[in-house]
Structure 1
């Protein structure tokens, strides 16, 4: 029996307009009544996720910032801070890469460099309360994630520069068509989910996971019921044991109905 469900957000649970499916809240009530845990696992920051899931946010577990920041019932379970010298090295390297913007996730706030309207339209989708700072190296905060918005395409532009330079010490992952995230080496959604599984004494066979992009790969490996979305890139499909209908067709909801709700009704 499935006891734990974890899902990515963008391109997975959320529809093509970035909205929750209309059937989500009734489904979640049903799951909670049957003591099935539900985990939101996203590259988004906690503040953004908390807002989306009001008024039930305090009842959920959140793997935020790809696992660098984990929260349960408003209690911070873990924060994985990046060494300050490494943060400065990454910032300085990024300043030499054309057509990108930098956002830093810290324990005191979210920070970004000044940007054009084109960048701001993309950033505001995920980072609604960022503080604009002229020199990001002057920030007095503990940084746990660096997000790169790359309008030239993250896999073809910034990844090819940042991954060779920093991947020995840090996790450099393409998290969207124009997004790239950098965290500490062992930080990913999969390791964060594994900690939750151990805390709850829930096994691989009792876990269901949904994802669509490369930052979901490690998380998909933690569940027998691993679903890659139909709308994912073709090379992602090999990382799941199952395929869910696209996010445009509410694929997460449909799979949960078929594999979980029908069995507990």
Structure 2
């Protein structure tokens, strides 16, 4: 495929545009204005919440572009008023969430429950896991009784993040998988991070939604990522670029590779496949 045909770029955040010190690829600020001149949107896709993504869009001056939050459970677009509105929203089944929370409370009491609704992050208590996540995302959670919070039927639930010791999270994943819940999807984003979203949520489905939104054929899209949840997106995009810091199995999902996240992998990929062609 001729790289000059790329009309839409979607990139992961952690381990992709952020280095190991959680700093943004320092060449992107020079690269992205070139994409803007070519009318090529650069869109961030992440498991993060809106509050964990918006500061990065502000740093990169791409606030006019949509953001894919919670791996596609919520896609937001900033309006001229400054407010963000939902382009696409895929919410968890409330009864399934209630069941999962009850099981954790009774069988896995040491696991931290993080519930994400729109831009808000709710936790049952502030513990070591909450602090680690807050340090990474620069967000501050709202402490609430999660079971009582679920009684609010008007509250959309976009994601559950369950954090604990690796072995306990592995056991919890097996337990949840055996429940065979029809509307929930479970995956590990880290050895000790179990994420739950609606079964229709994934980055590749968000790519499809935004390609339709921009009226861009999938073969004219480029996706960049580094982790297992990026594989479907990398496989579906016209150009799927994998970071050199990705696990070997992720690297096998595409034959196009860039340098690692500590060596400007994203900006180098954009130069190679879009700007310098």
TM-score normalised by the chain length of structure 2 = 0.87
1:90 aligns with 2:96: no
Residue 197 of structure 2 is aligned to residue 187 of structure 1? no
Cα gap change, 1:152 to 1:99, in 2 (>3 Å): farther
1:233 and 2:271 matched: no
Q: Which one of 70, 74, 84 corresponds to residue 69 of structure 1?
A: 74
Show CA shifts across 1:172-209 (max 9, x none).
Answer: 12223332211111111111110110121212221111
Which of 161, 180, 183 is the matching residue for 2:175? Answer: 161
- Residue of structure 2 aligned with 1:216, choices 218, 225, 230: 230
Task: Name whichever of 122-131 and 154-163 sits farther off.
Answer: 154-163
Cα deviation, residue 101, structure 1 = 1.2
TM-score (ref. length: structure 1): 0.91
Cα shift at 1:61: 1.7
Q: CA deviation at 1:68?
A: 0.6
| Alpha carbons 1:154, 1:180 under 8 Å: kept | no
SS of the aligned residue for 2:112 comes to strand
Counterpart Cα distance in 1 of 2:262 and 2:178: 35
Q: Counterpart of 2:175 in 1: which secondary structure?
A: helix
Q: Give me the whole-angstrom Cα distance separating, in 2, the residues matched to 1:44 and 1:154.
A: 23
Alignment of 1:85-164 (within 5 A): 85-95=95-105, 96-97=107-108, 99-107=110-118, 109-126=120-137, 128-133=139-144, 135-139=145-149, 140=152, 141-152=155-166, 156-164=170-178
Q: Once superposed, which parts of structure 1, at least 4 consecutive aligned residues long, lie more than 6 Å away?
A: none
Q: How many residues align?
A: 262
* 1:127 Cα offset (Å): 6.3
Q: Distance in 2 between matches of 1:161 and 1:174?
A: 14
Structure 1 unaligned blocks of 5 or more:
none
Distance in 1 (CA, whole Å) between partners of 2:268 and 2:96 is 43
Match of 1:43 in 2: 47
C-alpha separation between the residues in 2 aligned to 1:38 and 1:79?
Answer: 20
The partner residue of 1:196 within 207, 210, 213 is 210
Residue 71 of structure 1 and its aligned partner are, at CA, apart by 1.2
Partner SS for 1:10:
coil
CA contact (8 A) 1:173 1:214 kept: no
How far is 1:97 from its partner? 2.3
Residue 43 of structure 1 and its aligned partner are, at CA, apart by: 0.3
Tell me how far apart the structure 2 counterparts of residues 155 and 252 of structure 1 sit (CA, whole Å). 31
Q: Which residue in 1 is equivalent to 2:81? A: none
